Structure 1
Amino acid sequence: MKLLDDVQKFREMIVALIASEVAVRTMNFKASFPNGQCLNASQMLAKYLSENGCENVQVMSGTCPKLGSHAWVEVGKLIVDITADQYEKFGYPSVFIGENSRLHSNFSVKPSFQQTVGGDLVQTYLQVLKFENITCT
């Protein structure tokens, strides 16, 4: 499945950036990913998928009194989340793709008001792309 491959590759690129000495300007991105970086990661993932031919890509966000806020990408009817593993009690993998989700159903969901990569996140995205040809093992 091309979508799964592209999403896993992008997550690996982020992990490679975090392990590197490359500095980024997005506040706490390298220090806390995936925790608290779901919107930043989702915006970058949406851009990456769109640039690689994916259609119907949208950043979604939601809130839940017990879990706080969370953001992820939807591709058509599929939930695509590269930061779901921050919710340890749900036992999600580092890359989740599916139509239904016990975690995501907890949030009051709407399209994020921040669909695009802007500001310091542009620089972070460009740094992530530098790791495109590096494979994490």
Structure 2
Amino acid sequence: MRGEVMLARPGDDPHQELLFQLAHRFREAILRSNPRTSRLATLREFPAGACGDASLLLAKYLQVNGCGRSHYMAGKRKGRTHAWLQLADFTIDITADQFEDQDAGVIVSADSLWHSSFEGKIQSVADFCLYDKRSAFELATAYEAITGCL
């Protein structure tokens, strides 16, 4: 079933479980926030095409909840691009189910073979506050709308 949640090896690590719970809660809040009316065009068809901005927004949520700073990962595979987070040893993704070969809506994994299939690398610290004023404002506005649905 598309959009289901996945946690690699549940119970292995309490930090992994916390990351999973926060990521799942945030994804559900995005869906409840009616992304089709968002100022961010990238969230209108969530999860399709939303991976970059959704990752940045999730990174803020994780940081606010005491998980530390994430890295923004970007990869390419078969001509398609994708973005996700890396936080310590964990790959975190709330938009993987936009791809035909991935059903999980939430992935928190210490060894995601699926993400390894992308030619991915760390792009930067995942913090939209470091972006230009307009982008930071639009992302902050979307963040407030999403967290208002938690």
TM-score over 0.5 for the pair = yes
Identity of aligned residues (%): 32
Structure 1 stretches lacking a partner, 5+ long: 133-137
Q: Could you tell me which of 71, 82, 102 is aligned with 2:83? A: 71
Structure 2 stretches lacking a partner, 5+ long: 1-16, 129-135
Residues 42-97 of structure 1 deviation map (CA, whole Å, 9 limit, x = unaligned): 00000100010002422211122x151100011111111000111122x3311011
Q: Could you tell me which of 121, 124, 132 is aligned with 1:110? A: 121
Query: What are the within-5 Å matches in structure 2 for residues 1-137 of structure 1?
Result: 1-18=17-34, 23-30=37-44, 32-64=45-77, 66-89=78-101, 91-113=102-124, 115-117=126-128, 118-132=136-150
Task: Figure out how many residues of one structure are paired with residues of the other and give that number.
Answer: 127
Contact in 2 for aligned 1:62/1:110 (Cα 8 Å): yes
Q: Structure 1 pair 124/56, CA: closer, same or farther in 2 (3 Å)? A: closer
Partner of 1:94, secondary structure, is strand
Partner of 1:95, secondary structure, is strand
Alignment TM-score, normalising by the size of structure 2 = 0.76
Q: Which letter does structure 1 place at the counterpart of 2:20?
A: L
Q: Which letter does structure 2 place at the counterpart of 1:24?
A: S
Alignment TM-score, normalising by the size of structure 1 = 0.83
Whole-angstrom distance in 2 between the partners of 1:107 and 1:60: 10
Whole-angstrom distance in 1 between the partners of 2:91 and 2:71: 10
- RMSD (Å), alpha carbons: 1.9
Whole-angstrom distance in 2 between the partners of 1:125 and 1:25: 11
Partner of 1:79, secondary structure, is strand
Contact in 2 for aligned 1:24/1:123 (Cα 8 Å): no
Q: Structure 1 pair 107/33, CA: closer, same or farther in 2 (3 Å)? A: same
